[in-house]
A = this chain, B = another copy of it.
Amino acid sequence: MKSELAHAELIAVLTAVTSDAPRVMTVRAGEALPSGPLEVGHRSLQSGLRTWVHEQTGHPVGYLEQLYTFADSDRAPQGTATRTISISYLGLVREQAAPGAGVPGWHGWYEYFPWEDHREGRPKALAAIEEGLAAWAGSDRSRSEHRHRRIAFTFGIDKAPWNEDLVLQRYELLFEAGLVVEAGASSAPESGRAMFADHRRILATAIARLRSKIKYRPVVFELMPENFTLLQLQRTVEALAGLKLHKPNFRRLIDQQELIEETGELSNEAGGRPAKLFRYRRAILDEHAISSSRLPLSRN
C-alpha cells in the first residue's frame, strides 16, 4: 500500500448563538476559519479537536460533527507539490469566548451570507442578487432555461418556496455565476463578506448541515444555557434557521418531544408575564430522533 504523502489540517466551524444572532469563530479579523495541523499525539480527530478548541476558546465543545474532507490539488499552498487534505468540523459551543487577547473573534453568520436571514422578511440583498443571477442565466442561450429553473428553485423565486436548507447550493450557484468575491466579483454589499480560500464555502456547508440537523436531532440545546424559557429557545432556532416560527405550534412541538422539563423557577427578564424556566432532559437518549419515515411502511 504505497500512498502519496500529504499535509493534513483540521478546519473548525465553531458556532454559538448570542442575543439571537448566530456567530462563528474566526481568525485574521474575520477573514478565516480557525485551523491547525493534525497533531501526532491525538488518538482520534474528534478528541484532538476537542482539546484544541477548549484551549483556544476556554469553553468546552458541546457537540462536534465531521463536515467534509477537501483534497483538491488546487488547495495546495503556493509553491508546494504536496497536497493538502483539509478535514472540516462543525462544533457547537454554549457561550462566546471572553474577548481575550483578541486572537479569536466572533462574527455573525449573516455578515457572510446576508441573503440567508429571512426573519424580517425577504432580505433586500436578494433583489440585486436575483438581477445578477438573471443576467448570468441569460448570458448562455443554450443553458438559459435550465439555469433559470435552477435559480428559481434554489432561491425560492416564482412559486417555489424559500428552502432554508439550501445554503450550500445557493453559495455555489452564486460562485458559478461569478457573483461572490472569491469567484472574481468586485466587492458589493449584497454579496456578503468574503473569506480566505474556500472558507466561506465550508461555512455554508456547516450552516446547511446545522439547519437540517435541528429538525431531527435535539442539537439546539447544546447552544442554550442551562435554564431557558420557551421563547429563548424559539429565538435560537429562528436565528439558526433564518426564519420566524409560529409560537403556539413551536410550543406544541416541543411539548410532544418531551425533551425538556420545568425547573420550577420563573424568569422575568423580559418585561411581561414571567415565563417558566426549562432545562434539557439529559436523561433522554441522544439517539432520540423522530425517525420521520417518508417510506410507506407496512407493519407486519
Binding site for B on A (CB under 8 A): 1-9, 35-40, 42-45, 66, 68-74, 77, 82-85, 87, 121, 149-150, 153-154, 163, 165-166, 169, 214-216, 237, 241, 243-246, 249-250, 252-253, 285, 287, 290-298, 300
Contacts and interface: CB of A to CB of B under 8 A. Distances in A.
B3 A291 contact: no
A62 to B, nearest CB: 20
Given A69-B69, A71-B44, A287-B169, A37 B297 contact: no
Contacts of A246: 296-298
Given A5-B7, A72-B43, A153-B285, A292 B291 contact: no
Closest CB pairs A-B (n = 4):
A3-B37, A249-B296, A215-B294, A246-B298
Most B CB contacts (10 A, CB to CB) among A74, A154, A246 go to A246
Contacts of A74: 43
A21 to B, nearest CB: 19
A30 B72 CA distance: 31
9 contacts: A5-B7, A5-B8, A6-B7, A38-B71, A43-B74, A121-B300, A215-B293, A243-B297, A250-B296
| Copy count, this protein chain | 2
A150 B259 CA distance: 16
A157 to B, nearest CB: 14
Contact of A66 (B68, B169, B241, B253): B68
A252 to B, nearest CB: 7
Nearest to A82: B5
A83 B297 contact: no
Contact of A73 (B40, B243, B249): B40
Contact of A39 (B4, B36, B215): B4
Most B CB contacts (10 A, CB to CB) among A39, A74, A237, A296 go to A296
